[in-house]
Structure 1
């Protein structure tokens, strides 16, 4: 679970230092946006490659190696002063995150199988918790007077301390032997693609809250700019809380119903946010999105590790790659829809897609 916390902390610690990097490079928003694409490209390229590395070396070693690289790269994000060096550093940062994501989920699938009970939501809950704590820790250290590079270096040390303290507890490659036997290349089956597309939609819905909720609240619901970020905060807190409690819900009702009801609740949340005449109710809509979506991805990732005839080290990288494409490319598509019509219409499209997930999902 602490490895998931490490990944969440590592990803979220980047957010508070983006303005410093932007100022040092002298970039405008457009230039920064293009540079940030390299981070996503690094993650997407490494996700399928990580599956190959896991089959050869086991997810335990890959997890350790990627976190070490992440810890080294984090301070460099505040030291690189040219577009080329910053671009290469961001690409490496994204590649490390993508590698950790696949490797830690491969570990989680095997641990869940080892315990023979649903625990995937708790893992992802720690990732979400790291996403909340990262900016708080970074912001607190910087506000207390520490130089940003020292603050981010402190985060790197914490990440290393956690991973080295927990390394012995990770399952060895011997426990993954059944999943690593892949003698020849084969195209992913329909079940793998289906799970990937479901993840694509859910990640699109989550990513759109990150990228567009503040704009929506400010421009459509007339929120003050200073508090427009409350939508994402409400969503994040709701998602974290529900993930930490999620395994109990999965035990009480079937994983299939978690997806069916969760997607429907998230869809309703988007519609509440759009059609509410009151600002506070729009915030409640974003809370519903977080509550509903919280445990869908953990269930889908767990299902990817249980597809008959397909090793988890093959299925999981494909599902994660397709899914994270939704978090990267999806919000851009939402921007196109918003430009062509309105952001409210774009949010309604997301609500419709979530209903597709609710209606179409079947247990794999």
Structure 2
């Protein structure tokens, strides 16, 4: 009994560290958008220059995630997360002292590389060793970090400036390094024992052919999902303000509620994930998100109903990413799942960067009214891809 309690305690301790690491991963994500209006004035840059930063961050994160399987196999998850946390912490500290855009672009390279490695590494580790409940809660922790980051930056802007905001976020990330260093033995112990459920399903997966098509359909699903989520997050405020006359402050609040619905929905989905299963949660989430997106896309509806559609879309989005990620280790045997997860995280960054930008071109040439219908089609494509993936695996 004492041995069982000790094993459970180790399991819980490592899970807590993983949650903290994902909160830390989310901290910088929303901070740049809040800080940039002040940063660009201090650095004498145009508003559009932030695009160069986001492209650099996205490309480096995607590259890091793509090569992560080989790095994780060589070093192990614990050391990779620790090294990556050190890179991102130093890069953010450098952001607080950067005298020009050139320095910011140079620092965006280690920041992106570190973020991509942590994202892929922790997703693979939790997928292999923990339940779908914990995968949903893991991504809920990212939402906590993504919410805290703008709050920290906003408080700094109101007092000492954006430099102090980045310093605070940097020191929060660097303070996690000591915890990661002390926990390295826990990572090794946990890595030695995949979950019994995973062992059974991995053996079953080896008994049937794993189609090459499936190893690319799974990453495509992540591209489509992130396209829908990021596209809505980026353009919902513009749709509300420019097409429907909503005050800017109100529009910003409802977009925050959209992301809040995703975060709260992930913690809620974790409570029912064991009963419903990943595939059912994915299907249900896509259908709910599509209904919400369709409601929000109709301009003639009363504002409360339209905004309810936006919240419904957020709740539908909540379980899709973590459930798809957790299911990867059950669709593919271990020798393939790490490679597929690396591809999934890499194409997620492509979806975040590419499709919202394409929506901007659509809005410029055909009007903002067509952005949400286009994202409804993206969600429909996601449903078709995931159903085909279910048939292949």
* TM score, norm. by length of structure 2: 0.83
Which residue matches 1:279? 303
The residue aligned with 2:378 is 353
Matched-pair contact (CA < 8 Å) for 2:127–2:326: yes
1:249 — aligned with what?
A: 272
1:169 Cα deviation (Å)?
4.5
Structure number with greater Rg is 2
Residue 301, structure 1, aligned to residue 325, structure 2: yes
- Structure 2 residue 312 is the aligned partner of structure 1 residue 288: yes
Q: Deviations over 1:84-139 (max 9, x none)?
A: 22211123222221122112212222331xxx563200000000111111111222
1:223 to 2:246 alignment: yes
Q: Which runs of 5+ in 1 are unaligned?
A: 180-186
Deviation for aligned residue 1:188: 8.6
Q: 2:79 aligns with which of 61, 64, 76?
A: 61
Counterpart in the other structure of 2:62: 44
Structure 2 gaps, min length 5? 1-18, 195-209
CA contact (8 A) 1:4 1:123 kept: yes
Q: Give, in whole Å, the separation in 2 of the partners of 1:343 and 1:306.
A: 40
The alpha-carbon distance between structure 1 residues 33 and 174, as it changes in their structure 2 partners (threshold 3 A), is: same
Partner residue, 1:202: 225
Shift of 1:190: 1.8
The correspondence of residues 88-107 of structure 1 with structure 2, limited to 5 A, is: 88-107=106-125
Query: Alpha carbons of 1:14 and 1:339: their partners in 2 closer, same or farther (altered >3 Å)?
Result: closer
Displacement after TM superposition at 1:217 (Å): 0.5
Instruction: Say whether the 8 Å CA contact 1:13–1:138 is kept in structure 2.
Output: yes
In the TM superposition, what are the counterparts of 1:62-211 in structure 2 within 5 Å?
A: 62-112=80-130, 118-143=133-158, 145-169=159-183, 171-173=186-188, 175-176=190-191, 189-211=212-234
Does the CA-based 8 Å contact 1:12-1:134 persist in structure 2?
Answer: yes
CA distance in 2, matches of 1:163, 1:228: 38
For residue 311 of structure 1, what is the aligned residue in structure 2?
336
Task: Give the Cα–Cα distance (whole angstroms) in 1 for the partners of residues 164 and 253 of structure 2.
Answer: 29
Give the secondary structure class of the aligned counterpart of 1:10.
coil
Q: 1:19 aligns with which of 28, 32, 37?
A: 37
C-alpha deviation, 1:31, in angstroms? 2.9
| Cα-to-partner distance string for 1:139-159 (whole Å, 9 max, x where unaligned) | 22442x234323321222222
Higher helix share goes to which structure?
2
Larger CA deviation: 170-179 vs 70-79: 170-179
Give deviations 1:235-259, integer Å, cap 9, x for gaps: 1110110111212222221211111
Shift of 1:193: 1.1
Query: Under a length normalisation based on structure 1, what TM-score does the superposition of the two structures give?
Result: 0.89
Q: Distance in 2 between matches of 1:31 and 1:18?
A: 9
Residues 170-215 of structure 1: CA deviation (Å, up to 9, x unaligned): 6534654699xxxxxxx99222211111111110011112211111
Aligned length: 353
RMSD: 2.3
**Offset of 1:42 from its aligned partner?**
1.4
Q: Write the distance in 2 (CA, Å) between the matches of 1:30 and 1:314.
A: 35
- 2:202 matched to which residue of 1? none
Residue 11 of structure 1 and its aligned partner are, at CA, apart by 2.3
Change (3 A) 1:247 1:269: same
Distance 1:360 1:32 in 2: 33
1:234 aligns with 2:249: no
